[in-house]
């Protein structure tokens, strides 16, 4: 069974920079896994942020960026705002199936 | 504007089936996949599968094979997800999400439907 692993929790100061990562149990994550990133706040539906590794949706704030880093997909937040406190999920493509990571709870403190 | 509006909350007994609907508007329904994702209370997101509304073709996560059926009615731009032989651990919020047929892009999401399985 394929497992996608994210940091369970991270803490960042307002104005700071933080990188969340997404690893696959099958090996290095490449662009062929079409990494997606989503933000979810309590009681709300997920909101799409990034698709195909680094592409932003029209509503994605400029401070969010996606990349591949050391064999993982990565989401970097630069100039973190208090409203960025949320759960973040990655999604990877496995030739028909998709698998979500377990999520990273980002605290802004 | 793109909207996905899901049916209301359901309470079911163990062993029963539930069918959740997702009505799409603001775009060409047959031009995009529809994915289904669930989230148990306090847990993460879980991909269940997707349907191609144009062809009716489906891909299901292995975990749900044999228990889930995804269908669509193109005349009313609505996708359906039916889950059978419900158990208590199927209690979750079920979401539909629009997906691009090129690459994997889940962009717009429904508001979610809470399904509670309890005797």
Q: For testing the chain B interface, which of A98, A100, A101, A102 should be mutated: the one with the most B CBs within 10 Å?
A: A98
Q: Give residue A75's Cα distance to chain centre.
A: 5
Secondary structure letter of residue A27 according to DSSP: B
B35 at A interface, C-beta within 8 A: yes
Q: How many angstroms separate the CA of residue A24 from the nearest CA in chain B? A: 15
> Which residues in chain B are contacts of A89 at CB distance < 8 A?
44-45
**C-beta separation of A24 from A92 below 8 A:** yes
CA distances (Å), A44 to each of A79, B109, B113, in order? 24, 10, 12
Residue B57 CB contacts under 8 Å (≥ 6 apart), including other chains = B51
Q: How far apart are CA B65 and CA B49, in angstroms?
A: 9
Q: How many angstroms separate the CA of residue A79 from the nearest CA in chain B? A: 24
Question: What percentage of chain A has pLDDT greater than the value 70?
Answer: 100
Per-residue pLDDT tens for A66-103? 999 999 999 999 999 999 999 999 999 998 899 999 99
pLDDT of chain B, 119 residues: tens digit per residue: 999 999 999 999 999 999 999 999 999 999 999 999 999 999 999 999 999 999 999 999 999 999 999 999 999 999 999 999 999 999 999 999 999 987 789 999 999 999 999 99
Per the CB < 8 Å rule, is B107 touching A102? Answer: no
Q: How many angstroms separate the CA of residue A103 from the nearest CA in chain B? A: 6
Phi then psi for residue B31, to 5 deg, are -90, -5
């Amino acid at each position: 069974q394929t497992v996608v692993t994210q940091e369970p929790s991270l803490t960042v100061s307002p104005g700071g920079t933080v990188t969340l990562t997404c690893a696959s149990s099958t090996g290095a994550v490449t662009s062929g896994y079409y990494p997606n990133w989503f933000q979810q706040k309590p009681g709300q539906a997920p909101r799409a942020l990034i698709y195909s590794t680094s592409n932003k949706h029209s509503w994605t704030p400029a401070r969010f960026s996606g990349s591949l880093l050391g064999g993982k997909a990565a989401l970097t937040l630069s100039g973190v705002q208090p409203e960025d406190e949320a759960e973040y999920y990655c999604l990877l493509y496995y030739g028909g199936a998709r698998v979500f990571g377990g999520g990273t709870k980002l605290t802004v403190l | 504007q793109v909207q996905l509006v899901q049916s209301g909350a359901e309470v079911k007994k163990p062993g029963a089936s539930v069918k959740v609907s997702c009505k799409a508007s603001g775009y060409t329904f047959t031009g995009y996949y529809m994915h289904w994702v669930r989230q148990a209370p306090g847990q993460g997101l879980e991909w269940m599968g997707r349907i191609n509304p144009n062809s009716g073709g489906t891909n299901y996560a292995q975990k749900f094979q044999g228990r889930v059926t995804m269908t669509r009615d193109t005349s009313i731009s609505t996708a359906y997800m039916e889950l059978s032989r419900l158990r208590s651990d199927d209690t979750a919020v079920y979401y539909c999400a629009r997906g691009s047929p090129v690459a994997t892009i889940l962009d717009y999401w429904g508001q979610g439907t809470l399904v509670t399985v309890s005797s």
